[in-house]
Amino acid sequence: MSMKGKDLLSVHDLSLAEVEQILHLARELKAKQKRGEEHHLLKGKTLGMIFQKSSTRTRVSFEAGMWQLGGMALFLSANDLQIGRGEPVKDTARVLSRYVDGIMIRTFSHDEVIELAKYADIPVINGLTDLLHPCQALTDIFTVLECKGRLKGLKMAYIGDGNNMVNALLHACAKVGMDIAVATPAGYGPHAGAVAEAQADAGISGSKIVLGHDPLAAAADADVIYTDVWASMGQEQEQAARAKIFQDFQVNRALMDAAKRDAIVLHCLPAHRGEEITDEVMESAQSVIFEEAENRLHVQKAIMALVMGNEKGAVKK
């Protein structure tokens, strides 16, 4: 199966076979890197990286990943592009298609990413929007697979804000047959459209999706505990108000005690220690948060290799 030329805007858009292909290649590329073996699957290729939101992990992992794959990446902020001065997205898409081999965009509006992909003749990778964070969600299930050896039938509990992260995790879990229980304050649940898409996939995979407002109930017998910041980028002015609303949704030792004894803890970072997660839990033996952060590199390398040049997903010898 070839993914060459395919956009990656949402995990929901991928087939199960494509998700498995990404996870398999990520595992191969990670092993090659650990052995110090070259894997220049994108030699001579260039990735244009559009950033309208700041980043640590997204920029460094994509930029380093392209270099390790034998290509190069161009950092393009809104200040660097005419898109920041009013050039239509469709014009930017058609111009960049003539210069680079792929585009990664990290921005606010998901519609902007959809329009970019519509008019670009090259693959577009969603590095984050206010609606979805698909590269992170694929990284998360890859990390679970590494730790647990399987995905289908496991239970993830997501505790906190119903933001782009949980929307993407609903897609990812439903696609691979993982159960997911979401606990958010009333009025702060996940996007209805993302829930509907996940439920459609769950009907195929057998995944169970439970939405509620009780963190302990969600965490009961969970194999994975997941959380994210209570106020995402662009919501900083709501930080104080959200801290009060979300105070009972902290991932702490009491919540971990409701999960399975061997449950792992994930967080997409950056973390506000002492708010959505305690320092004790983040530094505990159950935390694989920094392994998860590392895996952004390997999973995104797999995505880039598959959509920008490596048609079959097999690492060249």
| Domain locations along the chain | 16-132+296-308, 136-293
Q: 313: Cβ–Cβ under 8 A, 6 or more apart, which residues?
A: 1, 3, 21, 24, 25, 302, 305, 306
Residue type at 111 in one-letter notation: D
Phi then psi for residue 167, to 5 deg, are -60, -45
β-partners of residue 48 are: 74, 103
pLDDT at 312 over 60: no
The answer to whether the peptide bond before residue 270 is cis (omega within 30 degrees of 0) is yes
Task: Give the catalytic positions in this structure.
Answer: 106, 133, 136, 228, 268, 296
216: helix, coil or strand? helix
Q: At what angle do helices 164-176 and 192-205 cross, to 10 degrees?
A: 10
Task: State mean pLDDT over 73-97.
Answer: 88
CATH class of 136-293: alpha beta
pLDDT at 66 over 90: yes
Q: Which tokens in the block code for residue 295? A: 């895996």
Percent of the chain clearing pLDDT 90 (strictly above) = 89
45: helix, coil or strand? coil
Task: State mean pLDDT over 289-315.
Answer: 86
pLDDT tens-digit series, residues 280-293: 999 999 999 999 99
pLDDT at 316 over 50: no
For 56: left if phi > 0, alpha if psi spans -120 to 50, otherwise beta; the answer is alpha
> What pLDDT shows up at residue 233?
66
**What residues are designated binding site for carbamoyl phosphate?**
55-58, 82, 106, 133-136, 268-269, 296
pLDDT band per the 50, 70, 90 thresholds, residue 314: very low
CA 188 to CA 260: how far, in whole Å?
Answer: 26
pLDDT band per the 50, 70, 90 thresholds, residue 310: low
CATH architecture of 16-132+296-308: 3-Layer(aba) Sandwich (3.40)
Check if the beta carbon of residue 117 is closer than 8 Å to that of residue 50.
Answer: no
Q: Which residue has the higher pLDDT, 143 or 2?
A: 143
